[in-house]
């Protein structure tokens, strides 16, 4: 897999915790993803790693459910459109 160029790297800023949002998908008509020809995951296996014992208890208790929800959501189903299984 090729390295990302500096223009392709992104840093997601962290903000203050917010109230949970609805997991309902809304209109995504203006949504755009850039596909650079790399492999797209066809199945997901998540391993949660807490680097310290100082993880907030709410996060610790809810992270497994979060990943389960995302993994079983239309977001993962959308990856099927790329059909890159077996591609290089």
The 10s digit of each residue's pLDDT in 18-45 is 776 665 556 566 667 677 777 777 677 8
In a domain, 21, yes or no: no
Provide the domain count of the chain.
1
In a domain, 53, yes or no: yes
Q: In which band, very low, low, confident or very high, does the pLDDT at 59 lie, cut at 50, 70 and 90?
A: confident
In a domain, 65, yes or no: yes
- Left if phi > 0, otherwise alpha if psi is -120 to 50, otherwise beta: which for 86? left
Task: Tell me the residue range of the domain where 49 lies.
Answer: 37-88
In a domain, 23, yes or no: no
**pLDDT for the residue numbered 7:** 60
In a domain, 67, yes or no: yes
What are the backbone dihedrals phi and psi of residue 52, each rounded to the nearest 5 degrees, phi first? -135, 170
In a domain, 31, yes or no: no
In a domain, 28, yes or no: no
In a domain, 14, yes or no: no
Q: What tokens were used for 66?
A: 């979060």
Residue showing tokens 């609805």: 22
What distance in Å separates the CA atoms of residue 11 and residue 62, rounded to the nearest whole number?
A: 24
Q: In which band, very low, low, confident or very high, does the pLDDT at 81 lie, cut at 50, 70 and 90?
A: confident
Q: Decide: 87 and 44 in contact? Cβ < 8 Å.
A: no
């Amino acid at each position: 897999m090729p390295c990302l160029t500096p223009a392709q790297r992104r840093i997601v800023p962290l903000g203050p915790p917010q109230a949970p949002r609805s997991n309902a998908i809304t209109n995504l008509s203006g949504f755009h993803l850039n596909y650079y020809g790399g492999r797209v995951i066809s199945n997901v296996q998540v391993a949660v790693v807490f680097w310290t014992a100082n993880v907030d208890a709410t996060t610790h208790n809810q992270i497994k459910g979060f990943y389960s929800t995302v993994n079983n959501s239309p977001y993962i189903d959308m990856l099927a459109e790329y059909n890159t299984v077996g591609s290089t």
